[in-house]
Amino acid sequence: MRVETLVPRRGEAELEEIAAALAAGPSAPPFAEELVEFCHGISRALFGDRRAKRHPELVPLASFLRRASVAALAQEFAAEARPDVVQVPRGLAFHVPPSSVDTMFVYSLAVSLLAGNRNVVRVSPRRSVTTEVLVDALNAAAADHPAVAASIAVVSYGHELEPSALLSRHADVRVIWGGDATIETIRALPLAPHATELLFGDRFSLAVLRPGAEDPADLARRLFNDAYWFDQMGCSSPRLVVGVGDGAWPALEALFDALHGEVRHRGYGLELGAVLAKRTAVYGALADRPVRRMREGGNELTVLELATLDGFDRTHPGAGLFYAATVDSLDALAGFVVRKDQTMTISGFDGTEVASLVRAVNGRGIDRIVPFGEALTFGRFWDGYDLLAELTRRVNAP
Amino acid sequence: MAEYDEPQAGKERRLAAELTRLVHHHRAACAPYRRIVDVVAPGFAAAAAPADVPHLPVSLFKTHELRSVPRDAVFKTLMSSGTTGQAPSRIYLDRASAAAQTRALAATMQHWLGPRRLPMLIADTRSVLQDRTQFTARGAGILGMAPFGRDHLYLLDASEEERGAWLAKHAGEPVIVFGFTFMVWQHLPGGADLRGGILIHSGGWKALADQAVTPEEFRRVVAARTGIERVHNFYGMAEQTGTVYVECEAGALHAPATGDVVVRDPATWAPAPRGEQGVVEVVSTLPESYPGHALLTEDLGRVVAVDDCPCGRLGQAIALDGRVPKAELRGCSDTAAAVLTG
C-alpha cells in the first residue's frame, strides 16, 4: 500500500518496501558514535531554524538531542552495564506518537534510535507547523548521515488500520503514545510473538506547593510552561494545583494572580471554539462538583476552587482550567492518588517528605515528581518505564 | 400583544422581569442550576436587562440532565440532532411548557403566514417522523410546522402523478412550502407554478455555504424554479423550541415577543456594540420545566436593527455569520484515536 513518507525524505512509497528495507537494514550498537552525531544534527537544525523560535517547546527537545546531553545519557547507560550481559537493540520499533504533542514523536524516535533500533513512525496527515519543522530537522540530519537515515522512516497515513497492521507484524517493539482509545484500537493489531509493547495511556498531572518556599511570580513563569505549552493537554501538564498547610489559599490566589499576568505577558490565546468547549466543561463542573468559588483571568485562565478533593473527577478539557484545593499535609495526598496520576510538580518540599509520600502511595499512581517548570522535561524514565531498558535486549554472555 | 410591535427598551424591561422570575424558579427547582448560578452570579437578585441574566452554554444540555420538574411530570423529551458523533441535547418538557411552545410558535407563524391554514408542501419524507428512535431536528421541525398548513404533500414520497394532481388541485391558490434549507435546495423541483406562495425554511446554511450558495442566490433560484417571492428563513434551537427568529423582507432575523438575543463580545463576554460580530446568546420566557431561558449558543451573529429595521418591525433583529469553528487542542489524548478508528 502506498503511503506518504516524510523522513528520510518527503515523497511517497510502498509501505511493504519500507518495512522490508528497515527489517533488513543496517543497525548500530546502542549509543554508537554515528547515532549520537545524528541526534546532534537534529539539534543543530532545530536551533538554526528561524521558525522554531516561535515554538518554545522545541528548545528543550533541541537541548535533549545535543551531543553533551546524549553523551551523559550514554554514560549512565554504560555505567549500569554488567560484565556478563551485553545490551543490544530490540530490532525494529514501530512508534505511534500523539498527533498533537508534536515533539513527542522525536523524543520517542530518538531514544529508540540511540538504543540502536531501526524505527518507523506513523504521524497523522493533519500536521502542525511544529511537526513540519521537526520533519525538516530530521531530514537535514538524514542528509548528513545516510547510514543512520537508512534505519529511520517517518510515514503518514489517515483513517485506515491496514498500514498499522502491516507495521505491527514487522515490529519487534511497538510504542503507542496517547489516548486510551488509540491504545485499544492499535493493541488489537497482532504483533510477532516475541515482540514487546510500550503503552502510554491518558494520564492526569498535578502541582503541589507549600506556601512561602518560592516567589509566586517565578513559580507562575514555570507553571505557565508546564501547563500552557500544549494547551494543558499534555499528559504531564498540571490541571490541579494543591496548596499544603497554613496559608494555602492565599498562596494559591497569589500564584494564579501571577499566572494571569504571565498568560497576558506571553500573549497566549485560545481559539473561540476551545473557549466555548472549556465554558461548557466549566459549567458542567459547577453543576457537579463542590466548587466554592470561580476566578477567571480572561478566557485563558479559569480557576475553580474546590471545597474538598473527595470524589475528585479527573476529566478535564485543557485550555487553561485549573482546579485548586488545599490539604493539611503532603501525606494527606497519599489517599488521593490513583493509577492515572502521572506527574507531580512540586515546590517547597524536601526529599524526605517526597520519598515518604511515594512510599505511602506504594505504586498506586504518580510516576514522576519534578520541580515546577519541569513537567514537560522528557527523560528516560517515563510513565513508570525505563525506556532505554525497555528498548534494548540483554544477552547473557558470561 | 402582537409579535413585533413592542419597542426594544420596554421589551427588555418586560423580559428582564420574566427572566428574573425564571432564574429564581429554576434555582429553587433544579439543583445543578442552583449550584451553577450560586458560583457565576452569587447573590443574584434581579436582572435589569436580559444581558444581566446568568446564562448556560447550550451544549450543557448534551452532557447534563437539567430538569425543573419531577421526572414523572415529563410529558416529552426533545432531542436535538447534535453534530455527528456527539450526544444529543435532552430537553424535558411538561405539558404546560409544551403547550406554551406551541402557542408561541403559532403567534409568530400567524404573523408571517396569515390566519388561514394554506395547503402545505413539505420538502421531505414522512419517514423522518416515523422513526422515533432517531427523532431528529428535521422531524421535530416538520411536526412543529405542519399544523400551520393543511392537505400536506411530502415531496419526497409523492409520485410524479400525485404531485401533478396536488398542484392542479391547488392551482391559483397560495400555498406554503416548508423544509430544511438544504432539503429545499436539493428537492424543490422546477416547473411547478407556486406564484403567491410562501417558503419557510430553517436548519442552517452550513450545507449550502459549503456549496457557496448565498441567501440571495437561494432566493433567486427558488423564485426561478417556482415563482415564490416570499422566502423566510428562521433561526431557532431545540433547546428553546417555540421561540423562533424569522427572516423579514430585508433579510434580518427578528426576535419574537417571547425572546431576544444578546450578542456577546467573546473577549469580555459583555454585550457587543450594535453591528459588531459576537457569540449569540438567546433568551426565552418559555422554558419552565428546564433551565433553558438564557443560553449561550455556538453561533456567531450581529445585531442589525433595533426598532429601525426597514421592514418596519420593532425590537431587535440579527444576522447570523455561521458557527464558531470547532477547535483542536494539542495534547497527548488528542491522538491518532479518531483517525485510526474512523
Q: What is the mean pLDDT of residues A274-298?
A: 97
Q: What is the mean pLDDT of residues A22-29?
A: 90
With CA atoms as reference, report the closest residue to A392 among A170, A196, A176. A196
Chain B residues inside the 8 Å CB shell of A128: 330
Q: How high is the pLDDT of residue B91?
A: 93
d(CA A109, CA A120): 8
Chain A residues inside the 8 Å CB shell of B339: 99, 124-126, 158-159
Q: Are A280 and A274 in contact (CB under 8 A)?
A: no
For residue A3, what pLDDT band results from cuts at 50, 70 and 90? very high
CB within 8 A of A72, min separation 6: which ones?
Answer: none
Chain A residues inside the 8 Å CB shell of B56: 283
Terminal-residue alpha carbon distance, chain B: 52
Residues paired with residue A238 on neighbouring β-strands, in sequence order = A205
CB within 8 A of A10, min separation 6: which ones?
Answer: A135, A139
Q: How high is the pLDDT of residue B335?
A: 35
Say how many CA atoms lie within 13 Å of A296 toward its Cβ: 14
Of the partner residues B330, B341, B342, the one whose CB lies closest to the CB of residue A233 = B330
Q: What is the mean pLDDT of residues A36-55?
A: 94
Q: In Å, what is the CA distance from B156 to each residue of A293, B168, B186, B340?
A: 54, 18, 11, 37
Is B329 within 8 Å of chain A by CB? yes
> How far A283 CA sits from the closest chain B CA (Å)?
7
Chain B residues inside the 8 Å CB shell of A102: 330
d(CA A57, CA A130): 9
pLDDT tens string A179-234: 888 899 999 999 999 999 999 999 999 999 999 999 999 999 999 999 999 899 88
Chain B residues inside the 8 Å CB shell of A319: 329
Please say if the pLDDT value at position A70 is more than 70: yes
| Cβ-defined contact of B325 to A233 (cutoff 8 Å) | no
Which residues numbered 155-174 in A keep a CB inside 8 Å of some CB on B? Answer: 158-159, 161, 164
For residue A362, what pLDDT band results from cuts at 50, 70 and 90? very high
Per-position DSSP letters for A251-310, written without gaps between them: HHHHHHHHHHHHHHHTT----HHHHHHHHHHHHHHHHHS-EEEEEEETTTEEEEEES--T
| SS3 labels along B272-312 | CCCCCCEEEEEEECCCCCCCCCEEEEEEEEEEEEECCCCCC
Cα dihedral A224, A229, A235, A239 sign: positive
Q: How high is the pLDDT of residue A372?
A: 98
C-alpha cell at A58: 522545541
Q: How high is the pLDDT of residue B333?
A: 43
User: Rg of chain B's alpha carbons, rounded to an integer?
Assistant: 21
Chain B residues inside the 8 Å CB shell of A283: 36, 40, 56-57, 60
> How far B314 CA sits from the closest chain A CA (Å)?
31
Which of B55, B335, B341 to mutate against chain A (most A CBs within 10 Å)?
A: B335
| Cβ-defined contact of B335 to A179 (cutoff 8 Å) | yes
pLDDT tens string B236-262: 988 999 999 999 999 999 999 999 999
With CA atoms as reference, report the closest residue to A262 among A299, A301, A233. A301
> How far A214 CA sits from the closest chain B CA (Å)?
28
Amino acid at residue number B82: G
d(CA B23, CA B9): 21
Q: Which residue matches cell numbers 431536528? A: B137
Chain A residues inside the 8 Å CB shell of B340: 159, 161, 164, 182, 185-186
Q: How high is the pLDDT of residue B24?
A: 98
Q: How high is the pLDDT of residue B139?
A: 81
Q: How high is the pLDDT of residue B191?
A: 80
For chain B, give percent helix, strand, coil, nearest 5.
35, 25, 40
Is B116 within 8 Å of chain A by CB? no
Residues paired with residue A153 on neighbouring β-strands, in sequence order = A120
Of the partner residues B56, B332, B340, the one whose CB lies closest to the CB of residue A161 = B340
B126 in helix, strand or coil?
Answer: coil
d(CA A44, CA A9): 18
Q: What is the mean pLDDT of residues A24-30?
A: 90
- A104-114 and A129-144 helices cross at what angle (nearest 10)? 30
Q: Which residue matches cell numbers 493489531? A: A189
> How far A276 CA sits from the closest chain B CA (Å)?
7
Q: Are B254 and B248 in contact (CB under 8 A)?
A: yes
What single DSSP character describes residue A320?
Answer: S
With CA atoms as reference, report the closest residue to A79 among A31, A117, A28. A31
Say how many CA atoms lie within 13 Å of A188 toward its Cβ: 9
With CA atoms as reference, report the closest residue to A140 among A26, A36, A9, A21. A9
With CA atoms as reference, report the closest residue to A325 among A291, A299, A280. A291
Q: How high is the pLDDT of residue B133?
A: 52
| Cβ-defined contact of A287 to B330 (cutoff 8 Å) | no
Is B317 within 8 Å of chain A by CB? no
Exposure string for A155-190, b = 16+ CB within 10 A, e = fewer: bbbeeebebbebbbebbbbbbbbbbebbbebbeebe
- A67-79 and A104-114 helices cross at what angle (nearest 10)? 50
When the pLDDT of each residue in chain A is averaged and rounded to a whole number, the result is 95
Residues of chain B with pLDDT under 70: 1, 81-86, 131-136, 329-342
Chain A residues inside the 8 Å CB shell of B337: 178-179, 181-182, 185
Q: What is the mean pLDDT of residues A265-284?
A: 96
Say if residue A28 is exposed, middle or buried (CB neighbours under 10 Å; 0-12, 13-18, 19+): buried
Which residues numbered 50-89 in B keep a CB inside 8 Å of some CB on A? Answer: 56-57, 59-60, 63-64, 66
| Cβ-defined contact of B332 to A233 (cutoff 8 Å) | yes
d(CA A20, CA A24): 6
> How far A260 CA sits from the closest chain B CA (Å)?
15
| Cβ-defined contact of B35 to A286 (cutoff 8 Å) | yes
| Cβ-defined contact of A99 to B339 (cutoff 8 Å) | yes
| Cβ-defined contact of A182 to B36 (cutoff 8 Å) | no
Say how many CA atoms lie within 13 Å of B173 toward its Cβ: 18
Chain A residues inside the 8 Å CB shell of B342: 158-159
| Cβ-defined contact of B333 to A233 (cutoff 8 Å) | yes
Q: Which residue matches cell numbers 491518558? A: A202
Cα angle B244-B75-B98, degrees, rounded to a multiple of 5: 25
pLDDT tens string A101-160: 889 999 999 999 999 999 999 999 988 899 999 999 999 999 999 999 999 999 999 879
The pTM (predicted TM-score) of the whole model is 0.91
Q: How high is the pLDDT of residue B83?
A: 55
Q: Are A153 and A5 in contact (CB under 8 A)?
A: yes
Residues paired with residue A2 on neighbouring β-strands, in sequence order = A14
pLDDT tens string A313-350: 999 999 999 999 999 999 999 999 999 999 999 999 99
